[in-house]
Amino acid sequence: MTVDYKAIILFDGVCNFCNRSVQFIIERDEKAYFHFASLQSEVGQKLVAEFGIPKNINSLVLLENERYFTKSSAALRICSHLDGFWSLFKLFTLVPISLRDFFYDIIAKNRYKWFGKSDACKLPSPEMRKRFLE
């Protein structure tokens, strides 16, 4: 299943923090560079299999240029495409990945406890729905 989009973000659809992050990205991605699919969706599961991504991934995943990126590398690559000063976050790529991912893992491990969890993915507005692959 090859999808012909510039970049796809796979996210935890039941995570409140992840859903808010997707909304944040959409609001700052005026060129509509990114498309989205929840990891729990059929499309998300097919992309996970196609790219060989570990099934128990505890990270958002960026699919770009036929490669996948996880954790802080994915987040910083996403920021580099956002409008405004967010693109400056790419400077954090100068920080060693082990240190960046250490902090990413703390947030990922505690995201349900700190931000809550939904029983299902939230439905986007009709205008935003065209950015989602499900």
pTM: 0.86
pLDDT in tens, 65-99: 999 999 999 999 999 999 999 988 989 999 999 99
> Stretch 101-106: mean pLDDT, rounded?
94
pLDDT over 70 at 106, yes or no:
yes
Q: Which residue has better confidence, 4 or 129?
A: 129
Per domain, the residue ranges of the chain are 7-129
> What pLDDT is stored for residue 97 in this prediction?
95
Q: Does domain 7-129 have CATH number 3.40.30?
A: yes
For residue 118, list its beta bridge partners.
Answer: none
Whose CA is closest to 127, among 51, 44, 32, 50?
32
As given in the structure block, the two tokens for residue 61 are 């995943």
